[in-house]
Amino acid sequence: MKIPFGGGARPDFVLWNHVAREHVFINALAAAGFAYFLGWRAGLAFWSAGVLIDFDHYIDFVYRTRAKFWGFREMFFFHTQIFERLYEKDFLCMEIFHTVEFMAGLTWLAVVIDAPVVWAALAGAFFHHVLDFFHLARRGAWRKRAFSFLEYLIRVHRMKRLGIDGCRHYQKAIEALSGMAKGQSA
């Protein structure tokens, strides 16, 4: 199933554009404000947290492929395949750094350390979440991501009770990735 992106945009372009434009460029603009008021270290912490929080997508990729693939090109291809399945009824994902529990831990760390750089990193991570929420909301898909470990477990349990395989879309993405790695068209 192809996603109706509008304007004929390819899913891989939309995904890369989201990462480059929203997380690198817009975070850089916001980080400049932090740098102006709180110093360059706070600005760098804001920007770094806002971009590096997406490392959980790489962790998810390595985990889901059982460490058979490691490259960033393969990771973007894999997540493009996942993104193409975004509107399927049984689609559900959770990224560990995009959860309430992770943000609570980061907030606790900011309170304990109480340094402007750590507060700026927390703000950068939160800003990243806001950008992600609007990215998903624009596509009518904000409920496709679980925002908590508990929410994820409850929703997966409910899916299993209904006989729905919540990992099906990951398996299809892995098959497409394996086909690409073998030189076949995916």
Instruction: Give me the residue spans of the domains in the chain.
Output: 11-181
Q: How far is CA 180 from CA 64, 74, 149, 164, 184, in A?
A: 16, 9, 32, 27, 5
Extract the tokens encoding 87: 């509107």
Q: In terms of pLDDT, which residue wins out, 87 or 103?
A: 103
Q: What is the mean pLDDT of residues 84-92?
A: 85
pLDDT of residue 28: 92
Give residue for tokens 């992106």: 5
Look at the alpha carbons of 155, 60, 57, 178 in this order and tell me if their dihedral is positive or negative: negative
Alpha helices (H) along the chain: 11-17, 26-38, 40-52, 55-64, 72-84, 100-113, 116-138, 149-161, 168-181
- Position 1 pLDDT exceeds 90: no
Across the range 69-77, mean pLDDT stands at: 85
- Tokens found for residue 35: 């740098």
Mean model confidence pLDDT for the chain: 85
**Token pair for residue 143?**
């409920």
- pTM beyond cutoff 0.85: no
Instruction: Categorize the per-residue pLDDT at 2 as very low, low, confident or very high, splitting at 50, 70 and 90.
Output: very low
The type of residue at 109 is L
* pLDDT attached to residue 158: 93
Higher pLDDT, 116 or 9: 116
Contacts of 115 by beta carbon, 8 Å cutoff, 6+ apart: none
Residue range 109-135: mean pLDDT, rounded: 94
| C-alpha–C-alpha distance, residues 165 and 125, integer Å | 31
Distance from C-alpha of 99 to C-alpha of 82, rounded to nearest angstrom: 19
Token pair recorded at residue 104: 């609570």
- Among the listed residues 96, 61, 67, the one whose alpha carbon sits nearest the alpha carbon of residue 82: 61
Amino acid at 186: A
